[in-house]
Amino acid sequence: MRKNPKPKVRDGYFINPETNDILWYHGSSSPYPLSLDTDYEDSDHMAFFLTSSQAYADMYATLDWSGNPSDYESIYALKVKECNILSLDDLVGHDGKLNDEGMQLARQIKKSESDWGLDQIVNGLLAVSESMDWQHFIDVDYYDNTLGEALPLYSLPVAIEELGYDGWIERRTTGQVRSNTDLAIFSSALNYVELVETVFTTL
């Protein structure tokens, strides 16, 4: 049984597995209202993130980019149209090995990571698939401070985008607030994301 299955779809939108509706949440400490009309760019994280947990979005909104309490807090509810989103669970067969699609991702990572052997990358993907935790995908602090990182920094989301996916699925498995399923949507695919309402803001 997959630990973090790809969200189901209702009326063309991904269903939030925690609430069983089609609303997802985004927390922001930006002093500017959220706008998805233009490309969303976040050089630290490479994608626009939505979470199944409003509590996680609330926590994320309380801190600015430096980790200090934010002067601005906003929580948004959004919908995400069904799109070509990657779940690492889909890449591992019942035998615990990468399937053909998983090996394609491993080879794509290898193209840009000449210092890493293919076996290392395969083992790294299998390790990431066990938790699908956000830190394996984009957390800079994790890679700066951990000696046994699973994969080279940013190599996983870069390869996912290069293979034509619109984003990926992860979750937060550590910390005071945890999330069941988070969606990361590349800026090039933001046409799949719709802002429904501002839940809370101090702007």
Domain that holds residue 138: 88-162
Same domain, 97 and 118: yes
In a domain, 107, yes or no: yes
Same domain, 97 and 76: no
Sequential pLDDT tens for the chain (203 residues): 455 678 999 999 999 999 999 999 999 988 889 988 655 555 456 789 999 999 989 988 887 767 788 889 999 999 999 999 999 888 999 899 999 999 999 999 999 998 999 999 999 999 888 888 877 787 655 555 554 578 887 889 999 999 999 999 998 877 777 888 999 999 889 999 999 999 999 97
Number of domains in the chain: 2
In a domain, 171, yes or no: no
Chain centroid, CA 68 distance in Å: 23
CA gyration radius, the chain: 17
In a domain, 157, yes or no: yes
User: What stretch of H or E contains 157?
Assistant: helix 155-162
